[in-house]
Amino acid sequence: MKWMIRGSVLLIVAAIIALLVRKALLTASTPEQPAAPAQVTVRVAATPLPAGRLLRDAELGWLDMPASQVPKNAITRGDSDRLARLQGALLRRPVEAGTPIRLEDVMTADSPGFLAAALKPGMRAISVPITSVSSNSGLIQPGDFIDVILTQQVREAEPGRRVASETIATGIRVIAVGSTFIRPADPDKVQVNDRARTVTLEVAPRTAEIITVAQQMGELSLILRSFANEGGNQPGEQETPHQAPTWSGDISRTVSAPASDSGDILVLRGSRKTDTRLQAGSPAAPVPQ
């Protein structure tokens, strides 16, 4: 009986040992799975971007990629200093969608020659003085497109033609407001732009001459344009307006109404009625005693 018990125990122990040996052999023969590569989130172009583009957040995106594949000087999510420099930077070369943006791909706003590099070929930069009213209370920001309106006093004898307003340039791109080249994301910085006293515009050489002369003729107002395509013209396609100016007499009926040179009045003296014509500026008839 004891031998039967010992035999059973030995069989159980042998079976356990066999299972352990089999498991060890299977584990040794199974290759270890490589660890997942570390991922890094980098700043990329969300859409194809041409050279000379002033970068905006809406045109940029994020992409997770293995750390070993991240290009040198790429801008990562945790690098706050490089991200701050990317705001409003100018692209030196075209960047395809999904391509990481590197520091050498951009020129920051504080770089020498930034303004000249931001201009399109053949264009010029001109600064014009503004007030809070003429600049739409600071709502015009870098990157917007505007029209320029000239209002002037005209030496005309006719009252209805002494003040005139006309559009002298359309589709003008705003390069800077004050010394700011980028659109502020912080509301407090927008208020700083509200106190700016100049706006820098990107214009054609002929338009630069027109605006320079207009500054000596009267007051300039900047009119914000829609980004939508109007009349077949893309924003930035400058054109010389040909519409007639708007005169003060076109706005106010009081100004345009001609002064009366004379008028008829009815004078009653007792039972007598007399029609009298008075010329403008002549004394009135004496009051009957």
Q: How far is CA 233 from the centre of its chain?
A: 18
| Whether residue 194 has pLDDT greater than 70 | no
Torsion on CA atoms 204, 205, 206, 210, rounded to nearest 10: 90
Residue 239: predicted pLDDT? 59
At residue 92 the predicted structure's pLDDT band, cuts being 50, 70 and 90, is confident
Average pLDDT over residues 187-213: 78
| pLDDT of 177 above 50 | yes
How does DSSP assign 177-218, residue by residue? Answer: ETTB-S--SSHHHHHHHHT--EEEEEE-HHHHHHHHHHHHHS
- 200-205 mean pLDDT: 93
Tokens of 158: 């006719």
Mean pLDDT, rounded, for 207-216: 93
Q: Which of 147, 181, 184 is nearest to 167 (CA)?
A: 147
Q: Cβ neighbours of residue 274 under 8 Å, at least 6 residues apart?
A: 266, 267, 268
Where are any strands of DSSP class E within 99-140?
Answer: 106-107, 124-129
* Distance (Å, whole) CA 89 – CA 46: 16
Query: How far apart are the C-alpha atoms of 50 and 100, rounded to whole Å?
Result: 14
Using the predicted structure, report yes or no on whether residue 172 has a pLDDT greater than 80.
Answer: yes
Residue 33 has pLDDT above 70, yes or no: no
pTM of the model: 0.58
Write down the residue that tokens 């701050």 correspond to: 84
pLDDT(232) > 80: no
Which class for 85: exposed (0-12), middle (13-18), buried (19 or more C-beta within 10 A)? middle
Hey, is 28 helix, strand or coil?
A: helix
b/e map 103-119, b = 16+ CB within 10 Å: eebbbbbeeeebbeebe
Give the confidence band of 6 by pLDDT, cuts at 50, 70, 90: low
- Kindly list the domain boundaries of the chain, sorted by start residue: 39-107, 120-255
Given CATH 3.40.50.720, say whether it is the number of domain 39-107: no
